[in-house]
């Protein structure tokens, strides 16, 4: 029996269209009749409208009773309005019957007006908050840069601030103002500027839906992939609360996500198997990412350039941290690093690398940490590193570099920290 | 994320077998693909040895840990927590308003008086990234790290005795049996060097009163034997019985292991006992360690200057200095969790004399270790932790004189320091009252410390779990919060 009721409840999505159509038609007919000073329509039409409203309301109410249906204000108001309209339609019928034409028409007018928000809230629940306005917004977004106040704050407000705001601070976290966002919560900092992979906030959103730490909690409206991407882009660009950050808008962004997802699929397990079989250490840098940390240093010291190259070739796109310390690689391998578009950390400690090899690092766009400890590089060699736009740290202990050489280079490239401890 | 409880035994068996087949396949393809490589000879034929690893939740700041545990409980009052005001309280009774009926060990609970013993050691102020840090004259070398270390003065623990205290620090629980921190790391991150265990333990004998160190401090509990800490001994045989017996060649060994491996595989398929897998993994690890350990312990390649940094003791196998050097060598070789124990900080009596000798034994070497990691660019992703299991009382145990006193165990507050990957450098965190007895600012529990360290290592402490006994177990049990103030 209850199953039948549940099925009846699900018919809500069919029934709801009846009162919409009938009431609007009724409203239109009564409006023209009123203009022409004619009498009301026959009662059967009003009775039909009332029946359809009751059908929609009861089925909707049953649908809401199903376990697992969440609670939020949209749902709440949709339900309240629906019930009010059903009751109002009974009133309408009664007034019609009593011949109180004026009151009957006024009530009808009210009902038709109430149907607008009720229908809109219903639509929001099935299609998402800004289903209606999305095309307009997209047009705006594609050209413009985004800022915290134009894009991030509204998103957090819509999805998170209910539980992380002035009223409630779940996990001791508030996401409604910049200061609170920076303060973090019970578990520490929520965002790490420039480091999406280290930010708890993104980590939580990316957790599988079933995980109890997933945000927003399972029963709540979830972030769209493009919204997650938006947060990621913002944090990657430094999580500034004032400066704009580049954001190309939803459509293109979603395509990119899809592309990354496809890559991810091709990554496991085919391409990693040869590395793992050769006992090279391979590890994703975080959960749900295709960014890899690869470490040859310890057990694979005796692999030569050709072997290293063959093993890395299939995963070049994914390498973010690479450790080749204490291996027998030579300058010959250096051009390969140019083919790793995401490489950030490179450890060449205790290898036969020389100035000749360094030349090949060229203008690598993302490399930010370089370890050259105990190699044969010299002042001349490291002066070529000036051209690396993202370089932050270079370790130079136990090389042929001199204190004077390093100091003068330091002046020319102040954004990089050259470290030559003695 | 965790599997449902209780698992259906039939399904479980099915799963185990397919998993095993999977490893079996990859082991085969490896023989074919890398035939030319010298590696092949050391690779196991048996499929059981491999275990999948989890990987970090978010991008880690630190990739490995060097944890120097000072067994016995070093006196924070003579090393880190400067209380100049106590000089005026010499031999006066500790006010009851401070002690508040706090439980004591039976070693001093019978004492008629609790006379305050100010430290006889001088403190100096060193520059850090805040307004300076006061450190004792006992640690002149460590003081050179003032701009790198984060000194925590507001640690507290639940335990008042050594065994439960160390167990709590290592495993997050006072009762023995849970996996220790290193085992969680091995389980969570796996090994970056397949030829050495992920979790290595080195022990140095101290000078003063020493307590037993049980092997269960580095046990892996329910995580399985392959995540257990491997103790390296000092002296000729770093690992006992690692070498082949006379007359057995390495090839013989390989053949023997392969054959035993096949038998074990059959046994595993029959019983699905995880211990069988552990056993195979350990035998394979031991086989590879026959090559890697002699290379590890051969320090003839170290240059004189480096050795001198660590101090003269570095030539004495098993000394703290020698173990610090070994820690650096292990870190370079990708070992995840390097646990150094220094015994002998349990100074119930004769504290001034003993702590002087004890500090001398560690000071230069621990400072050298941090500096050595730093110049090699390794400190950035190595988390260094220095701590005892609790602190010591401000009142004297036994007779108090101007030059001699003892101190009993004190869990309500103590100090530790950290440096390296993810740690807020050159800072002091937390504070205690004028008697160094209670915490007045920013308390840090052992669970909080664990949660914070795990965070630096890329783990959400609430999500690094292992299902056993009907629930998802964690290092931090159901406690702990990450402390942002400790992190860079």
Q: Determine contact, residues B421/B103, Cβ cutoff 8 Å.
A: no
What is the interface pTM, i.e. ipTM, of the complex? 0.86
The DSSP result for B258-279, as a single string, is HHHHHHHHHHHHHH--HHHHHH
- For residue A334 the two structure tokens come to 């250096």
Of A211, A213, A287, the CB nearest to B55: A287
Q: What is the pLDDT of residue B18?
A: 52
- For residue A156 the two structure tokens come to 């957090």
Which residues of chain A form CATH 3.80.10.10? Answer: 270-419
Percentage of residues in chain B having pLDDT higher than 70? 89
Fold exhibited by the domain B51-486:
Alkaline Phosphatase, subunit A (3.40.720)
Q: Is any Cβ of chain A less than 8 angstroms from the Cβ of B3?
A: no
Domain range summary for chain B, segments of one domain joined by + = 8-50, 51-486
What average pLDDT does this structure show over B152-163?
A: 96
Q: What is the pLDDT of residue A267?
A: 46
Interface of B with A in 373-402 (CB under 8 A): 374-377, 380
Per-residue confidence band for B30, with pLDDT thresholds at 50, 70 and 90: very low
Please judge whether A273 and B451 are an interchain contact, meaning their C-beta atoms are less than 8 angstroms apart.
no
Q: Is any Cβ of chain A less than 8 angstroms from the Cβ of B484?
A: yes
What average pLDDT does this structure show over B242-267?
A: 89
Fold exhibited by the domain A2-127:
1.20.120
Check whether domain A270-419 has CATH 3.80.10.10, yes or no: yes
Per-residue confidence band for B7, with pLDDT thresholds at 50, 70 and 90: low
Dihedral sign computed on CA atoms, order B263, B266, B271, B274: positive
What average pLDDT does this structure show over A304-326?
A: 92
Of B190, B451, B458, the CB nearest to A286: B458
For the cut 80, the answer to whether the pLDDT of residue A103 exceeds it is: yes
Q: What is the pLDDT of residue B5?
A: 46
Write down the residue that tokens 């978010």 correspond to.
B58
Give the residue with greater pLDDT, A141 vs B292: B292
Please judge whether A419 and B333 are an interchain contact, meaning their C-beta atoms are less than 8 angstroms apart.
no
Q: What is the pLDDT of residue A302?
A: 81
Q: What is the pLDDT of residue B376?
A: 96
Min CA distance, A116 vs chain B (Å)?
42
Q: What is the number of residues in chain A?
A: 422
pLDDT digits (tens, 9 = 90+) for B416-448: 999 999 999 999 999 999 999 999 999 999 999
- For residue B418 the two structure tokens come to 């950290």
**Which residues of A are less than 8 Å from B462 in CB distance?**
187, 213
Which residues of chain A form CATH 1.20.120? Answer: 2-127
The DSSP result for A261-292, as a single string, is HHHHHHIIIIITHHHHHTT-EEEESSTT---E
Q: What is the pLDDT of residue A422?
A: 67
Min CA distance, A380 vs chain B (Å)?
21
pLDDT digits (tens, 9 = 90+) for A348-375: 999 999 999 999 887 899 999 999 999 9
Q: What is the pLDDT of residue B31?
A: 32
Please judge whether B1 and A211 are an interchain contact, meaning their C-beta atoms are less than 8 angstroms apart.
yes
Q: Comparing C-alpha atoms, which of B411, B420, B477 is closest to residue B444?
A: B411
pLDDT digits (tens, 9 = 90+) for A208-266: 888 888 999 888 888 888 888 889 889 988 999 988 888 876 544 444 444 444 444 44
Give the residue with greater pLDDT, A64 vs A318: A318
Please judge whether A278 and B39 are an interchain contact, meaning their C-beta atoms are less than 8 angstroms apart.
yes
Q: What is the pLDDT of residue B102?
A: 82
Q: What is the pLDDT of residue A211?
A: 82
What average pLDDT does this structure show over B399-425?
A: 96
For the cut 80, the answer to whether the pLDDT of residue B464 exceeds it is: yes
Per-residue confidence band for A396, with pLDDT thresholds at 50, 70 and 90: very high
Interface of B with A in 286-305 (CB under 8 A): 292
> How would you label B313-337 residue by residue, b for 16+ Cβ within 10 Å and e otherwise?
bbeeebbbbbbbbbbbbbbbbbbbb
Q: Comparing C-alpha atoms, which of A223, A229, A221 is closest to residue A252?
A: A229
**Which residues of B are less than 8 Å from A295 in CB distance?**
192, 334
The mean pLDDT value of chain B amounts to 88
What average pLDDT does this structure show over B374-386?
A: 96
Give the residue with greater pLDDT, A416 vs B5: A416
Min CA distance, A312 vs chain B (Å)?
15
Coil, strand, or helix at residue B410? strand
For the cut 70, the answer to whether the pLDDT of residue A191 exceeds it is: yes
**Which residues of B are less than 8 Å from A210 in CB distance?**
1
**pTM of whole model > 0.80?**
no
Q: Comparing C-alpha atoms, which of B396, B326, B403, B379 is closest to residue B121?
A: B403
Q: What is the pLDDT of residue A421?
A: 80
What are residue A367's phi and psi, to 5 degrees? -60, 120
What average pLDDT does this structure show over B255-274?
A: 88
Q: What is the dihedral of CA A91, A96, A98, A104, to 10 degrees?
A: 70
For the cut 90, the answer to whether the pLDDT of residue B38 exceeds it is: no
First to last CA, chain B: 30
Q: Is any Cβ of chain A less than 8 angstroms from the Cβ of B147?
A: no
Per-residue confidence band for A144, with pLDDT thresholds at 50, 70 and 90: low
Q: What is the pLDDT of residue B488?
A: 87
- For residue A303 the two structure tokens come to 């692999």
Best residue in A201, A214, A279 for a mutation probing chain B (most B CBs within 10 Å): A279
**Which residues of A are less than 8 Å from B27 in CB distance?**
277
The DSSP result for B157-195, as a single string, is -S--SHHHHHHHHHHSSSSTTSPPHHHHHHHHH--S-TT
| Distances, alpha carbon A357 to alpha carbons A392, B3, B376, in Å | 19, 49, 20
- For residue B417 the two structure tokens come to 């320091």
Q: What is the pLDDT of residue B390?
A: 97
């Amino acid at each position: 029996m209850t199953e039948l009721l549940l099925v009846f409840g699900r018919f809500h999505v069919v029934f709801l269209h009846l009162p919409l159509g009938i009431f609007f038609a009724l409203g239109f007919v009564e409006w023209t009749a009123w203009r022409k000073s004619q009498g009301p329509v026959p009662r059967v039409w009003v009775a039909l409208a009332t029946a359809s409203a009751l059908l929609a309301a009861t089925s909707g109410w049953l649908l809401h009773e199903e376990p697992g249906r969440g609670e939020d204000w949209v749902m709440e108001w949709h339900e309240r309005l629906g019930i009010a309209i059903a009751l109002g339609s009974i009133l309408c019928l009664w007034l019609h019957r009593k011949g109180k034409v004026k009151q009957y028409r006024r009530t009808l007018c009210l009902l038709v007006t109430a149907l607008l928000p009720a229908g809109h809230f219903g639509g929001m629940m099935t299609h998402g908050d800004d289903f209606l306005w999305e095309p307009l917004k997209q047009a705006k977004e594609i050209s413009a840069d985004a800022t915290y106040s134009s894009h991030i704050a509204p998103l957090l407000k819509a999805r998170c601030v209910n539980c992380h705001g002035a009223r409630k601070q779940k996990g001791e976290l508030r996401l409604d103002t910049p200061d609170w966002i920076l303060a973090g919560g019970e578990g520490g900092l929520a965002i790490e500027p420039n480091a999406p992979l280290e930010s708890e906030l993104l980590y939580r959103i990316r957790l599988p839906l079933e995980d109890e730490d997933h945000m927003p909690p399972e029963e709540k409206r979830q972030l769209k992939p493009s919204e997650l991407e938006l947060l990621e882009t913002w944090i990657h660009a430094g999580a500034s609360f004032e400066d704009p950050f580049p954001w190309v808008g939803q459509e293109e962004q979603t395509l990119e996500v899809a592309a990354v997802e496809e890559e991810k699929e091709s990554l496991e397990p085919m391409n990693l198997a040869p590395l793992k079989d050769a006992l090279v250490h391979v590890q994703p840098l975080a959960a749900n990412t295709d960014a890899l940390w690869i470490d040859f240093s310890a057990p694979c010291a005796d692999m030569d350039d050709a072997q290293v190259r063959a093993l890395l070739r299939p995963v070049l796109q994914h390498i973010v941290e690479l450790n080749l310390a204490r291996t027998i690689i030579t300058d010959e391998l250096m051009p390969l690093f140019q083919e790793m578009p995401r490489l950030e950390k490179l450890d060449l400690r205790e290898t036969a690398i020389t100035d000749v090899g360094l030349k090949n690092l060229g203008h690598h766009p993302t490399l930010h940490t370089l370890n050259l400890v105990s190699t044969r590089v010299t002042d001349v060699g490291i002066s070529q590193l000036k051209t690396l736009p993202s370089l932050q740290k270079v370790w130079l202990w136990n090389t042929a570099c001199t204190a004077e050489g390093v100091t003068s280079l330091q002046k020319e490239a102040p954004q990089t920290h050259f470290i030559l401890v003695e | 994320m965790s599997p449902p409880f209780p698992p259906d035994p039939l399904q479980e068996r099915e799963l185990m077998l397919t998993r095993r087949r999977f490893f079996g396949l990859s082991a085969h393809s490896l023989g074919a693909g890398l035939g030319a490589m010298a590696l092949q000879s050391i690779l196991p034929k048996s499929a059981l040895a491999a275990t999948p690893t989890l990987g970090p939740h978010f991008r880690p700041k630190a990739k490995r840990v060097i944890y120097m545990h000072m067994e016995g409980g070093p006196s924070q009052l003579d090393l880190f927590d400067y209380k100049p005001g106590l000089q005026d309280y010499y031999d006066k009774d500790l006010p009851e308003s401070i002690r508040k009926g706090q439980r004591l060990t039976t070693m001093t609970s019978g004492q008629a008086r609790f006379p305050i013993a100010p430290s006889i050691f001088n403190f100096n102020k060193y520059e850090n990234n805040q307004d300076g840090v006061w450190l004792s004259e006992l640690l002149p070398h460590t003081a050179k790290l003032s701009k790198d270390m984060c000194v925590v003065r507001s640690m507290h623990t639940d335990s008042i005795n050594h065994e439960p205290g160390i167990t709590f620090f290592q495993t997050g629980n006072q009762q023995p049996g849970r996996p220790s921190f290193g085992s969680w790391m091995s389980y969570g991150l796996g090994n970056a060097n397949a030829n050495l265990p992920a979790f290595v333990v080195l022990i140095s004998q101290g000078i003063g009163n020493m307590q037993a160190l049980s092997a269960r401090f580095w046990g892996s509990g329910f995580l399985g034997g392959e995540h257990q800490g491997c103790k390296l001994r000092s002296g000729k045989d770093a690992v006992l019985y690692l070498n082949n017996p006379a007359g057995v060649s390495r090839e013989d060994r390989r053949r023997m292991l392969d054959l035993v491996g096949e038998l074990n595989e059959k046994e595993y398929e029959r019983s699905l006992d995880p211990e069988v897998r552990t056993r195979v993994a350990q035998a394979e690890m031991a086989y590879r360690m026959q090559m890697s350990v002699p290379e590890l312990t051969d320090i003839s390649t170290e240059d004189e200057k480096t050795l001198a940094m660590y101090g003269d003791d570095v030539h004495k196998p098993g000394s703290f200095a020698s173990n610090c050097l070994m820690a650096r060598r292990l870190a370079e070789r990708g070992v995840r969790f390097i646990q150094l124990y220094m015994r002998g900080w349990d100074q119930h009596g004769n504290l001034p004399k003993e702590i002087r000798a004890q500090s001398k034994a560690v000071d230069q070497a621990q400072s050298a270790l941090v500096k050595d990691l730093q110049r090699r660019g390794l400190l950035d992703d190595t988390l260094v932790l220095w701590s005892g299991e609790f602190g010591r009382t401000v009142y004297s145990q036994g007779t108090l004189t101007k030059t001699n006193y003892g101190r009993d165990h004190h869990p309500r507050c103590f100090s530790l320091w950290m440096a390296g990957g993810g740690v807020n450098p050159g800072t002091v965190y937390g504070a205690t009252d004028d008697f160094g007895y209670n915490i007045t600012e920013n308390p840090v529990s052992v669970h909080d410390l664990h949660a914070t360290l795990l965070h630096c290592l890329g783990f959400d402490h609430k999500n690094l779990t292992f299902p056993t006994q009907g629930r998802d177990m964690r290092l931090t049990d159901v406690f702990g919060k990450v402390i942002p103030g400790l992190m860079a």
